[in-house]
Amino acid sequence: RTFSFNTGDGEWRCHGEWALPFNGQGYFDGDLDAWVGLDKNGHIGTCRVASRSGTAAGAMAMQQQLDWKIAKDKLWSEEQQAVDHGPTLTAMGNARFCLLDCVKGMEFHGRLLRVTTFRLRHSRKGELEIFDRSTRSCPVSKQLRSFSPVAFWM
């Protein structure tokens, strides 16, 4: 099932018996006119939803109508993850996003907190592109086994 939360009304809305093709949470971006999320392989993607039918037949048609675009560049790799869960994606508005993950630090046998900010756009051919990408990292003590980074934007 797919739900959305209206922050103005403070209410959840069920959109149907189908799921967006994301691994975890997705965000709607008005500039892209699409939902944005991560897949399980480290790519970011957008999904335009074609219909809002509430019927069972509509839900089946909806699953077939999802317009899923995936960027060519990987943003993260499961092999690099230092913790059991994957990265956290946060929407910053205007097709800007932040990806926060904790990766294995090769040089000092610890962990690195990696923060990647980037923007998304669809090319003239309809392909999803990542641009204005910037990554910063800082060491995290290997003693913090339960370190679970989360980002948010207000």
List, for residues 68-89, the tens digit of each pLDDT value.
899 998 887 766 665 666 788 9
What residues pair up with 13 in beta bridges, in sequence order? 4
CA angle 22, 45, 67 (to 5 degrees): 90
Average of per-residue pLDDT across 137-152: 70
CB neighbour class for 85 (10 Å; exposed up to 12, middle 13-18, buried from 19) = exposed
Measured CA to CA, the distance from residue 141 to residue 154 in angstroms comes to 28
Query: Residue 125: which pLDDT band, with cuts at 50, 70 and 90?
Result: very high
What is the value of pTM for the model shown? 0.77
pLDDT digits 0-9 by tens, 53-73: 555 555 555 555 577 899 998
Query: Residue 146: which pLDDT band, with cuts at 50, 70 and 90?
Result: low
Domain extents in the chain: 2-140
Closest to 43 in 3D by CA, of 18, 73, 13: 73
User: What is the per-residue pLDDT for 75?
Assistant: 83
- Amino acid at site 92: M
User: What is the per-residue pLDDT for 127?
Assistant: 93
